[in-house]
């Protein structure tokens, strides 16, 4: 990473801190950057003394992390567009944050759910905590992730940990924050985790927002478990029944994104390739970067070249 980029990132990070009110330490925690590194970066001192007259250059990875977190865009190959899904997600999350609601947001894969959640997190870094649910995560794992994000020490038992989590969120509320806890890819939550959501709901409802984001599999899972009368699920369902928000289907004409593409054949070709916004991003960003680098217009041939596409292999 060149020096200029590093400086840009540092400058933007400072602005980010100023705008969001997040502390330097919190930013360091959230990005996983050591506090002394963060301090140096923000002061635009990218070499750290290592003792005995030695210095260590702060690795690029730390700048990348910081850049990702603050939404630093080094190039403009992907603009955020106000898709219906983004608008809906931000509106729902904002409302939940303001009033301490619990919401379940479901949408197709590649609709921009995680992207939207990250935007939200970037705006409210001090009191927004996002946990990505892993496919193998059990309840203990999830609780540990939450505890880590909240940066609290807790007891040994699950019950104690959940209580501590609830207490922390309530405490943040009392301190003037508007805490929001987001579970992304919540379709991977199993029955014990979903049942414990009911506990969290009861503990923090009105104090902190609780958001479960996932594909329609999430609501299908909840419904399936509810019909089987699994412990805790009917109760949880009762509480979130009218808090479920379904995102609209993706507009696969991708009008918002492809209006700038002048070549209709390219537009058509891209439409035939991409099934959702995520895929569209994965197509456009490298293609645009290469087009810029090669000073070529974007054509079907360039797309195939950049993406190494063989039409016969595509599936």
Partner 1 sequence: MSEKSPYEYTDQQLGVKIKFLTKDRKPHPQSLRLVSYRTLKARMDSPKRPEKQLRKGGNYHEALIVFDSLPTHWQELLIENFGKPQKPTRSFFDKYYQYDIDAFNFFMAYRFGKNGTKKLPEDIIRQYTADASVLNTLLQVKERRKSYIRTLGNVKVDLWQSLSNDVNAFRTVPHNLPTNKDALRKKANKYQNNGYQSLISGKFNNANALKLRQKEQLALIDSLLLKHQNFDYQFIADLYNAIAHHVNWPTIDAQTIANRAKKTKLITYAGRNGLKELKNKQLMQVKRRPPVAPMLYWTLDGWDVELYYQNTTQNKNGNNITTYTNRLNIVVVLDAFNKYPVGFAIDKHEKPAVIKKALQNAINHVKELFGAYYMPTQIQSDNYAKKTMTPIYKDLSMHYTPAEVGNAKSKIIEPYFKHLNKKYCQLMPNWSGFGIASGSKKQPNAEYLQKIRHSFPTYNENIRQIESIIQAERNAKQKQYIEAFKQADEQYKKQLTAEAYLYLFGINNGQTNRLRGEGIVKKIDGQLYTFDSFDPAFRHQPDTDWLIYYDLDNLSQALAVSPDGSARFLLEQKYIQPMALVERSEGDSEALMRVRNYNKELIEDIKEEIKQNHEIVETFFIENPQLHNTLAKHLLTDSLGQHKDHKSAARLQASKQAGKIAEKQTKKQVKTTADEQIEYYAQKVDINEFINP
Q: Which residues bind partner 1 (CB under 8 A)?
A: 16, 19-20, 71, 80, 82, 84, 86-88, 90-92, 94-95, 108, 119-120, 122-123, 248-250, 252
Pairing status of strand 54-57 against strand 244-246: unpaired
91 or 294: whose CB is closer to partner 1?
A: 91
Q: How far is the CB of 305 from partner 1 (least distance, A)?
A: 27
CA atoms of 14 and 42, how far apart (whole Å): 6
CB of 294 to partner 1, least distance (A): 29
Q: Note the maximum CA span of the chain.
A: 68
Which is nearer to partner 1, 34 or 252 (by Cβ)?
252
Q: How far is the CB of 263 from partner 1 (least distance, A)?
A: 25
Kindly write down the DSSP assignment for every residue of 168-211, as one continuous string: HHHHHHHTT---EEEEETGGG--HHHHHHHHHHHHHHTTTSEEE
Name the minimum Å distance from CB 215 to partner 1.
10
Asked if 45 contacts 38 with a C-beta cutoff of 8 angstroms, the reply is no
Minimum CB–partner distance for residue 236 and partner 1 (Å): 25
Closer CB to partner 1, 14 or 190, in the complex: 14
Nearer to partner 1, 84 or 286 (CB): 84
> Can you tell me whether residue 176 is helix, strand or coil?
coil
* Spatial separation of the C-alpha atoms in residues 65 and 44, rounded to whole Å: 16
180 or 191: whose CB is closer to partner 1? 180
**For residue 106, which phi and psi values (nearest 5 degrees)?**
-120, 150
């Amino acid at each position: 990473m060149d020096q200029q980029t590093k400086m840009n990132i540092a400058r933007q990070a400072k602005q980010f801190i100023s705008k969001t009110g997040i502390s330097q330490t919190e930013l360091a925690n959230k990005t996983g950057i050591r506090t002394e590194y963060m301090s140096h970066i923000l002061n635009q001192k990218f070499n750290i003394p290592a003792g005995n007259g030695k210095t260590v250059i702060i690795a690029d990875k730390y700048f990348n992390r910081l850049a990702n977190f603050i939404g630093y865009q080094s190039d403009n190959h992907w603009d955020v567009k106000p898709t219906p899904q983004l608008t809906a997600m931000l509106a729902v999350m904002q409302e939940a944050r303001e009033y301490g609601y619990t919401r379940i947001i479901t949408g197709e894969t590649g609709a921009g759910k995680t992207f939207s959640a990250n935007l939200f997190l970037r705006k409210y870094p001090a009191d927004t905590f996002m946990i990505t649910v892993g496919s193998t995560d059990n309840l203990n794992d999830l609780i540990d992730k939450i505890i880590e994000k909240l940066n609290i020490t807790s007891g040994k038992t699950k019950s104690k940990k959940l209580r501590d989590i609830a207490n922390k969120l309530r405490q943040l509320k009392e301190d003037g924050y508007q805490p929001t806890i987001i579970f992304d890819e919540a379709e991977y939550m199993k029955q014990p985790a979903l049942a414990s959501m009911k506990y969290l709901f009861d503990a923090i409802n009105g104090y902190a927002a609780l958001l479960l984001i996932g594909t329609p599999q999430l609501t299908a899972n909840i419904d399936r478990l509810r019909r089987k009368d699994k412990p805790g699920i009917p109760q949880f369902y009762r509480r979130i029944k009218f808090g479920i928000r379904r995102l609209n289907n993706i507009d696969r004409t991708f009008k918002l994104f492809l209006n700038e593409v002048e070549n209709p054949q390219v537009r058509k070709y891209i439409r035939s390739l991409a099934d959702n916004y995520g895929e569209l991003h994965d197509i456009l960003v490298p293609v645009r970067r290469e087009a810029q680098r090669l000073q070529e217009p974007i054509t079907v041939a360039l797309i195939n070249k950049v993406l190494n596409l063989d039409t016969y292999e595509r599936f």
